[in-house]
């Protein structure tokens, strides 16, 4: 493969892994889990609870590995109750070492947005799934941490430094699922507002989920002048109760690997009633 055809290395995978390991140690030391991961895991449990059939081989990646037992018991049907669960924390999601059609379900939350090849990771995961296998995922979408971006830009002053990871929107995520070969794709947005009394609590929460700067580009450390500008910007953003509201845009998504048993859309022109006729009885109500 020529150099020009290689995937751009936006993220430094060693830095990324180190930050996730630091986050794991911080949470273990403090004796709790991150409320962000709790929220994503609860969403996955709700989606699993809506499925009635049993699954037997499951792959869980990244921070979601801490919630394996919650997923196993999710819902009255407990569709993963007797499943063999593989926990993956050592490999990057775009370079996983598994065989084709090995799993019935793959669960990945909060990490796919920091791989160098997201389209490739989705294609790979689809190949790992058996026919009619399920991918459950969640990423941080565009608009996340807009307040923190503003504060870091103020801290940089006249300098221009890379800090924030690239983010995609819900439409792009849905398109990527289709391009990767998933059927019946669903993507929806979940907006969280998190209120903070001080900047250092916000930074602490970011570190608890391993979302520090993992970009390949080198970013110099902040000095006292940078910190002063950051705190000055924080004061400008404070609301009447002296708190600042940060935003986190989560994109939850799922898709199924192709199978001949899946429902298919009706052929164009096969409808028995035209759309115009279907809407006609309600036309008078709109006038």
Residue-wise pLDDT for 264-277, tens only, equals 655 655 555 544 45
User: Both tokens of residue 259?
Assistant: 């199978």
pLDDT for position 283? 42
Between CA 207 and CA 210 the distance in angstroms is 5
Q: Which of 17, 20, 146 is nearest to 92 (CA)?
A: 17
Decide: 11 and 34 in contact? Cβ < 8 Å.
Answer: no
| pLDDT, mean over the chain | 84
Question: Mean pLDDT throughout 147-167?
Answer: 80
DSSP state of 4: G
pLDDT digits (tens, 9 = 90+) for 216-241: 776 767 789 989 999 999 999 999 99
The answer, yes or no, to whether residue 170 has pLDDT greater than 50, is yes
Give the percent of the chain with pLDDT over 90.
50
One DSSP character per residue, 214-262 reads -BSS--PPP-HHHHHHHHHHHHHH--TTS-EEEEEEEEEEEEE---TTS
- Residue pair 4/99 in contact (Cβ under 8 Å)? The answer is no
Average confidence (pLDDT) over 246-260: 93
User: pLDDT, tens digit, for every residue of 190-210?
Assistant: 999 999 999 999 988 888 887
State residue 158's pLDDT score: 78
Strand-pairing partners, residue 243, are none
């Amino acid at each position: 493969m020529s150099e020009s055809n290689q995937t751009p290395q936006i993220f430094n995978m060693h830095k990324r892994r180190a930050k996730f390991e630091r986050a794991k140690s911080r949470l273990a030391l403090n004796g709790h889990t991150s409320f962000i991961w709790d929220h994503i895991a609860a969403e996955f449990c709700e989606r699993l609870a809506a499925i009635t059939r049993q699954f037997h081989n499951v792959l869980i990646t990244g921070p979601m590995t801490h919630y394996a037992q919650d997923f196993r018991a999710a819902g009255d049907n407990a569709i993963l109750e007797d499943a063999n669960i593989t926990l993956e924390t050592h490999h990057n999601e775009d370079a996983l070492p598994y065989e084709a059609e090995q799993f019935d379900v793959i669960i990945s939350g909060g990490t796919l947005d920091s791989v160098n090849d997201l389209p490739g990771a989705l294609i790979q995961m689809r190949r790992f799934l058996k026919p009619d296998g399920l991918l459950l995922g969640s990423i941080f979408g565009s608009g996340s941490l807009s307040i923190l971006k503003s504060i870091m830009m103020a801290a940089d002053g006249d300098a221009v430094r890379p800090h924030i990871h690239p983010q995609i929107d819900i439409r792009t995520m849905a398109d990527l699922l289709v391009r990767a070969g998933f059927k019946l794709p669903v993507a929806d947005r979940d907006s969280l507002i998190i209120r903070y009394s001080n900047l250092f609590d916000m930074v602490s929460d970011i570190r608890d989920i391993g979302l520090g700067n993992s970009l390949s580009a080198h970013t110099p450390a902040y000095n006292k002048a940078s910190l002063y500008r950051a705190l000055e910007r924080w004061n400008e953003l404070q609301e009447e109760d002296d708190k600042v509201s940060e935003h986190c845009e989560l994109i939850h998504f799922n898709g199924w690997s192709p199978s001949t048993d899946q429902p298919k859309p009706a052929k164009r022109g096969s409808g028995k009633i035209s759309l115009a006729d279907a809407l006609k009885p309600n036309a008078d109500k709109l006038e």
